[in-house]
A and B are shown apart, each in its own frame.
Chain A
Amino acid sequence: MTSLGALFNKIAESKRNQIILFIAYVLVTGLGLILLPDSTVAFLLLLFSILILYYIDFNLKAKWITGLVILAVIVPFISSFSGSYQTYMEVGTLVGIYCAMALGLNIVVGFAGLLDLGFIAFFAVGAYSYAIFASGQAAKFMPFGHYPLPGGTFWIFILIGAFVAALFGIILGVPVLRVRGDYLAIVTLGFGEIIRILLNNMDHPINITNGSMGIASITPPNFFGISIGSSSQFYYIALCIFLVVIYIVRKLENSKLGRAWKAVRDNEIAAQAMGIPLVKTKLAAFAIGASFSGMMGVVFAAKQMFVDATSFTYLESTIVLVMVILGGMGSVPGVILGAAVVIILRTQVLTNISNWLSSLSATYGIPIPPALSPEKMQLLIFGLLLIIFALYRTQGLIPHKNRKVDVARLERESAELAHKASSGGADS
């Protein structure tokens, strides 16, 4: 990736040229998206502009604003001209949902160094907390209140989902944090499965989750009287939550709590000797990571209008973990890229290759067994990806970098303070 950046710099030595090239890139891909009939590639290239933006030599604030404009205005606007507008927005929504989740898992795995293989459980908890109360389901066991709750409560449920998931994070954390490393991974894996099986079986004696039938006809969110039902609308909800999550992660990463997480990750005994409470710090990682997942669970339930336990299998936990490892553990831009790559691979690239192969086999009469279609080989492909990364690029696509401080400024400020202290001393 850096060699790509170097090449880019060679072509465009001046900042102005870079900007012009970047705008041209966005325009060309955008135009392609409008003009080409099946424009998945153009759509992907347009999204790729965000990655280019990340590497452009540009001031940070301007980058953020440009990125925001591309995601919030240009991508939806241009896609709306294409035939598969809703499909693209669906992909965008999914990327947003999984990015937030992967960032949550990144706190647990990347910052605090706690391997969690059952992370999807918190997503499930968030999804079910909205699904139960925004459908007729709650009426089956709640002694009071009228259900389903109106769509306007969706916005409160985003917070409730975060809170409930955080609570589950703590409930899981208290017993589980006695074990470390591999044992922790196994226990969290078990927890993920327990939650899924519980949700699948809690239809008797009291029917809370409707068991394997799942919960259907979930009320769509309501925004000042507008019912939100299409992917293009959910795209904005996912984008907003995603931005909030990025903000929280970026701020926490370099805060006192973030340093405590990394200290615990690097050396537990030394961290404790420096006055860091181990259990509290780890629980905070579990709770905050889980809460992101819970929020997106609520969005997921509202978007699908139907939830059942099959959406929260072990495979999903693994995929979120793949996003984190592929992107780069502990690296915020890396994890976002990892999540985007995995989702796009899953929903766009693999399906397209499968379709292409089947059309090929139809026209040329070569029989390809359905079991060999790339869509069905997801696990194999992600497994291979993980192996390749473990062998050749252990730090992920965008490796984590510690934030550097401006030493010259620290030197200046420290000298100023020393001066103040000495002159103050002379006065008294």
Chain B
Amino acid sequence: MNILEVNHLTKKFGGLTATSDITMNIEKNSITAVIGPNGAGKTTFFNMITAVYKPTSGDILLNGKSLVGLKPHQVSQFGITRTFQNIRLFNDMTVLENVLVGMHQNLKSHWVGTLLQLPHIRRIEENAKIEAYDILKYVGLDKYTNENAGNLAYGAQRRLEIGRAIAAKPKILLLDEPAAGMNPKETDRLTQLIYDLRTKLDVTIILIEHDMKLVMKISDFIYVLDHGELIASGKPEEIRSNKRVIEAYLGKGAVAND
């Protein structure tokens, strides 16, 4: 069953076509990778799904319902959350608070109730803190609970972004270069985490990644973009030997010379 369907999605910035006519079908509970050289339009594609950009034409369907025209926070409420290529944490808030913000849309604590100190609101907030702490333990950041997010090391910040995203209880999780700047050990931990997310939390994962080892290892399906166009799609082993993909990465002639 397809949870997300993308039909003929095109985005133009003035005369520049960032992505053109992309069609994808993402299966529920799968791990899908979107790869391609720099400037291929991968992040633009993510930005359209999360409504940061409005597509010029085409449609995005989540369980058959169109997401085009929604506001970013509404897309999030429909169950799609993301992490960012250039880390976007709430730097002046604590690590725990970052995760609590991720839980924002699932918390039913209205501010009027907070002011009146209604007991059930206090309980909601208390439970939210425990849940957030559990998420921190899950991503291995519990010892930084009270630290400001901006003070964390790079790898930890990436993991906090994932923690914050899963706190929103998404159906689909978009990871934009989660392994960028990580050392091999951190990448291994991340791979494990992504596997774990899929099986334990039943989320569908779409990731943009340049680390081919990681991509080939964990993806069920791969889409390859180049210059805004979808040039190939298939299982990892098919992509590995696809001529157009190798050309896109290594340049024309690379295949013939081999």
Contact = CB atoms under 8 A, between A and B. Distances in A.
A158 B148 CA distance: 39
Which has the most chain B C-beta neighbours within 10 Å: A252, A259, A270? A270
Contacts of B111: 252, 255-257, 284
Nearest to A284: B111
Nearest to A270: B88
Contacts of B42: none
B109 to A, nearest CB: 5
A356 B125 CA distance: 56
Given A266-B90, A274-B105, A274-B164, A255 B73 contact: no
Interface residues of A, number: 34
Interface stretch (A67-75, A88-96, A137-145, A402-410): A402-410
A343 interface: no
A190 interface: no
B240 interface: no
Nearest to B105: A275
A107 to B, nearest CB: 12
Which has the most chain A C-beta neighbours within 10 Å: B84, B111, B164? B111
Given A252-B114, A407-B145, A413 B130 contact: yes
B9 interface: no
Given A274-B81, A410-B145, A404 B101 contact: no
Nearest to B132: A410
B89 A278 contact: no
A262 B76 CA distance: 19
A277 B142 CA distance: 28
A257 B97 CA distance: 12
A407 B146 contact: yes
Contacts of A413: 126, 130
Interface in B76-115: 76-77, 81-82, 84, 88-94, 96-97, 100-102, 104-105, 107, 109-111, 114-115
Given A248-B115, A251-B115, A407-B145, A272 B91 contact: no
A417 interface: yes
B155 interface: no
Given A255-B114, A266-B91, A414-B133, A272 B145 contact: no
B53 to A, nearest CB: 11
Contacts of B73: 272-278
A305 B100 CA distance: 47
A251 B82 contact: no
B129 A405 contact: yes
Nearest to A412: B130
Given A277-B73, A417-B130, A263 B93 contact: yes
B134 interface: yes
B52 interface: yes
A336 B159 CA distance: 38
A273 B81 contact: yes
Given A275-B168, A277-B71, A414-B130, A255 B90 contact: no
Given A274-B73, A410-B129, A410-B133, 5 more contacts: A256-B114, A269-B52, A270-B84, A270-B88, A274-B76
16 contacts: A256-B104, A260-B101, A263-B90, A263-B104, A266-B89, A266-B93, A267-B90, A269-B52, A273-B52, A275-B73, A275-B77, A402-B94, A402-B148, A405-B96, A407-B142, A410-B130
